[in-house]
Each structure stands twice: as structure tokens, then as C-alpha cells.
Structure 1
Amino acid sequence: MPLTCTPPTDYLASEAFLTLSTHIITAISMPAHVLGLYIILYKTPKAMSSVKNYFVNLHFWILIYDNSLGFLTIPYLSLPCMAGYPLGVLNYTGINEYYMVVLVLGACEYVLISVLAVFENRFDIICDFSWKRYWTKVRKAWLVTHYSIAILIFIPMKSMMPDPEMTLPCLTDEIRAVPVFILTEDYTYHIYALGSQLFTGVLESWVFIYCTILYIIRLLKSKRMSSTTIRLRIKFLTALSFQLAVVTAFMVAPLTYSLYSIMFDYYNQRFQNITIALETMHGLVSTFTMIFIHHPYRMALFEMLPERVRKMLETKNREQRIASSLTTRI
């Protein structure tokens, strides 16, 4: 029995809330995903061509993750027990819940690995350390290894699924009447396997960022590259770092509650449902962050707006610049 137990009795704790909220978010997110993919494929300028395929890869996995969570599975979880049941469309196909878990968590891992790959790409394009020739030989194998391990770690989990009759937290009779899927009773392997993947990815990302910044500083001191080129690279790296920080944070932050629930044996169905709904918004936030943080994508979106709206925005921006200029003079 959990140390803290709040029985699910209100609307926020219900299947209806979780299903409705995820369906609404998915309905809003899908057009945004399509728009983002279109802009990456057809509006990426030549100056950003080196990162285009990496953006496509990242956007693809974000789309898969969001839809696997908010449309295909919609997991009604009963943490801190690693148990629950799906409410999404895959629930009507006869697919085993274990493979639904692999789909959602695997897509989540692939999003994080794709973020790491973007930072590695920047490092590979910008940096020219004396030892980088050794890295060039192994970088493709390094990336393939990351994608492979992200799936291989799920294989042992299948043999760890316990008796489906194990005791679950204080659930309502309605929930107990549903066949509940239990991933594991001892979550030690699951936490360490997934946690080590996250920790390693974050550490590697920081290494690539640090090396890239260090090399840019060297270029500034040596004056081997024009200040304009260096300034543009710094600007793009800053925008890219902010974009990917939002991608990662908006994915990891809601998951932090799930980890808290497991580690401290806390059960609250309301918070768990809200966590799933917020996690489903990850792709929507990530897509618009990408569009608005990069000037070419922002301008591409601006050009798609109706002429009347564009003129209104241009007038508003002009007025803001004039007001800012007057304030500066005063």
C-alpha cells in the first residue's frame, strides 16, 4: 500500500478527462506538426542545409512520440505501480500492451537521441580539433549504437512482467474491473536502464556544446575567421541550444512527476492524468519554438499568413520600433 494515497474520484482523475484532453491536444498538434515538417523540408535556407536532415529526424520522432502517447495508446497509469491500461486506438487492435510501452518509451528515447545528434552535428561542422579525425571515423557507429541500445534495453523487460493479479494501489471499483497491464513489480532495472540513457545523453550533449564553444573562442582569438561568420555561428548555436533545451525540458519536466511518484511511493490519479496531458503537448510547444526561434522559419510562417494579417503585424512592429527609438533618445 502506498505511503500516500488519494483515491481517484473526481473528473480530473477519470478516463474521460484523460481521453478528451489528449484528443484535443492531438487535434491541435497534428496541423502544427505538418506545418513544421513542411517548413523544414521546403523553407530551410542553404545556410542551414547541414542541419536540415537532423531537424527532419528530430521532428519525425517528436511526431511519433506525441501521437503514440496522445492518440495510439493514451496510457491510464496507476503509478507508483508500473501498471495501467491503454485508452487509445491500439487498445482495439489486440496488440500486446508490452509493445505499446516499447513504442512510447522507445519514441521518447529516440527524441532525446535526435537532440543529441543535432549537437554532435554542430560540433562536427564547426570544430576542427587535432583529435577530431579520430572522432570522424567512429561518429556514425556511435550514433547507430545509441539508437540500437535504446531498443535493446527493452528486451529484458518482457521477462520481468509479474502476475497480473498483484495488488494495486487504492483504485476505484470501475478501474479494478478493467484488465490492467503490469509492466513490472521490481522497477530497479527499468529505472537504471532508462535513467542511464538519459544521464549519458545529457552528459554527451554538454561535452559537444562545451567543445563547440571552446573552438569558437579559439577562432575569435586567432582571427582565422571573419567576425561576421563567427557571430552568425554563435547566434545560430544559441538559438539551437534554446530550441533543444525547450524540447528536452518540456519532455523531461512532466516525467519528473512520474519518477517522484515511483521513488516516493505516491499515488494521485489526478496528477498522473495531468502529467500525461502535458506530455502530449510536448510536440506542439517544440514545433512552434523551432519556428519562432529561427529567423528563416519565422519568416516562412509570416509569408504564409493572409496579406491583411501581415500588414497589420508589420504596422504593429513599425510602431513598436518607433516607440523604442523615442524612448532611447529620451
Structure 2
Amino acid sequence: MGSAKWYLLNLHVSCILLDWGITVLSVPYLILPVWGGYPLGILRYWFGVPVLVQIYVVATMIFVVVTSIVLIFENRFYQLYARNSLWRYLRMPFIIINYFLDVTHLLPACFMIPDQGIALEFAYKLIPNLSEQTKAEQIFILSTDFRVKIPFILMGLKKCVETYMFIGLMNRNMNLESRSFAKSENTMNLQRKFFNAIKAQV
């Protein structure tokens, strides 16, 4: 079980960075259902970081955290049941592709930023009850085109499928082992407790 500590550390560090990004550095004020808003953090007021850069960093970190969660379950599955299977050759490309998509999934939206004047008019029509205080801020609209949102939706679905796939594989293999008595009852109980503890934390 010691092999999981680096994956847990990876998740811990990712969560810390995301928390700091959302609560201190960027502090995004979202305006939904349009994909817009404005930052209230120190990156805006102290350092003048462009809004698009802040959006990119925070959105990327969100999916990095989710990937870290997926990899914890993948590591448990690999260490316990797949060390001598085909998966040992596929897991590294799987990890690299996941992180690559985390970093690049937002690029289509970044290259298709709408004209902010037109986008704001669209936002005001869609949300006519926006307060004057909100309108006085420098609102940034990421997109008014649904097609730009497709990568976000696909990424979210992908992460859900991956997470539940590894959880399902773990449960299936544990049940098979318990029936075949391949491991002692004490070992199985320890593995179940550790697995349930991970699920409870994430």
C-alpha cells in the first residue's frame, strides 16, 4: 500500500494549488448560464494577470485534480491485479494522454474568444436582471457558442467513466478473490478498508 503514497501526495498538492487558485489567486465570480464572469483575486489586483490566463490555469487545475483522483484508483488496480497484464504497457500512455488533455482541452475556447461587446450584449439579454454593480465590473465572456463547450463536457464524461471503470474493476476483482480464497481474509479486509478509505476521501 506504500505505492499509493505518491499518488495521494500528487492529489494533495493538486488540491492545494486548486484551492489557492480559486480562493486567493483568482477568486472567480461566475455569471451563468453564460460562460462569463470576472476575477476578484490578487492575480488581478496585484499583478494584472489577464483574465484568460487565469481561466486557463484554474480550469486546467480542476481537471488535473480529477486526473489525480483517477490515478489513485488506477494505481490500486494496477498494483493489486494488473502488474502482469497488458495494462502494464498501456498505463503510462494512459497517464500521459490524460495529463496532455488536461493541459490542452481549453485551447479551442482560448482561440475562439468572442467579441466582448457582442458577447456582453448577449449576456445582458440572457440575464436581464444582472445588478448594476456586476455590470460595472470588467466582465469577461469566454464563449457564447455551445460547440466550444463540447471539450469540457467530453472531458467531464471521460473522467467519470475512467473513475467508475477502475472502481468497478477493483470491486469485481476483490469479489472474485474473496470467493476463490486466493488471499487470506485478513489481507482482503485490509485491502477493502484501504480502498473504502480512498473512496471516502475523494
User: Do they superpose with TM above 0.5?
Assistant: yes
1:219-251: per-residue Cα shift (whole Å, max 9, x none)? 22222221111111111112212222xxxxxxx
Give the match's secondary structure for 2:176: helix
TM-score of the two chains, using structure 1 as the length reference: 0.56
- The equivalent residue for 2:76 is 122
1:171-219: per-residue Cα shift (whole Å, max 9, x none)? 23333222221111113322x2112112111112222122222222222
2:85 equivalent to 1:133? yes
2:190 equivalent to 1:232? yes
Q: Is the 8 A contact 2:63 2:102 kept in 1?
A: yes
Deviation at 1:128, TM superposition (A): 4.3
Query: Which whole-Å CA distance do the structure 1 matches of 2:180 and 2:87 have between them?
Result: 24
- The equivalent residue for 1:189 is 148
Query: Which whole-Å CA distance do the structure 1 matches of 2:190 and 2:62 have between them?
Result: 31
Higher Cα Rg, which structure: 1
Equivalent residue letter for 2:101? I
Query: Which whole-Å CA distance do the structure 2 matches of 1:113 and 1:60 have between them?
Result: 13
- The equivalent residue for 2:60 is 106
Query: Which whole-Å CA distance do the structure 1 matches of 2:104 and 2:174 have between them?
Result: 37
Counting only pairs closer than 5 Å after superposition, residues 238-317 of structure 1 correspond to structure 2 as: 238-244=196-202
Deviation at 1:51, TM superposition (A): 0.7
For structure 1, which segment, 116-125 or 161-170, has the greater mean C-alpha deviation from structure 2 after superposition?
161-170
Equivalent residue letter for 1:50? S
Select 2:18's aligned residue among 45, 50, 65.
65
Equivalent residue letter for 1:207? M
1:58-98: per-residue Cα shift (whole Å, max 9, x none)? 01111111111111111122212212111100002121111
Aligned Cα root-mean-square deviation (Å): 1.6
Deviation at 1:135, TM superposition (A): 0.9
Unaligned runs of 5+ in 1: 1-47, 245-330
Deviation at 1:124, TM superposition (A): 0.6
Query: Which whole-Å CA distance do the structure 2 matches of 1:157 and 1:145 have between them?
Result: 20
TM-score of the two chains, using structure 2 as the length reference: 0.89
Counting only pairs closer than 5 Å after superposition, residues 212-223 of structure 1 correspond to structure 2 as: 212-223=170-181
1:252-282: per-residue Cα shift (whole Å, max 9, x none)? xxxxxxxxxxxxxxxxxxxxxxxxxxxxxxx
Percent identity over paired residues: 28
Q: Is the 8 A contact 2:73 2:163 kept in 1?
A: yes
- Residues 128, 151 of structure 1: CA spacing in aligned structure 2 closer, same or farther, 3 A cutoff? closer
Q: Is the 8 A contact 2:82 2:88 kept in 1?
A: no
Query: Which whole-Å CA distance do the structure 1 matches of 2:82 and 2:24 have between them?
Result: 44
Aligned residues: 194
1:134-192: per-residue Cα shift (whole Å, max 9, x none)? 110120110110011111111111222111113123323333222221111113322x2
Unaligned runs of 5+ in 2: none
Equivalent residue letter for 2:147? T
Q: Which has the higher contact order (CA 8 A, sep 6+)?
A: 1
Query: Which whole-Å CA distance do the structure 1 matches of 2:188 and 2:5 have between them?
Result: 20
1:266-316: per-residue Cα shift (whole Å, max 9, x none)? xxxxxxxxxxxxxxxxxxxxxxxxxxxxxxxxxxxxxxxxxxxxxxxxxxx
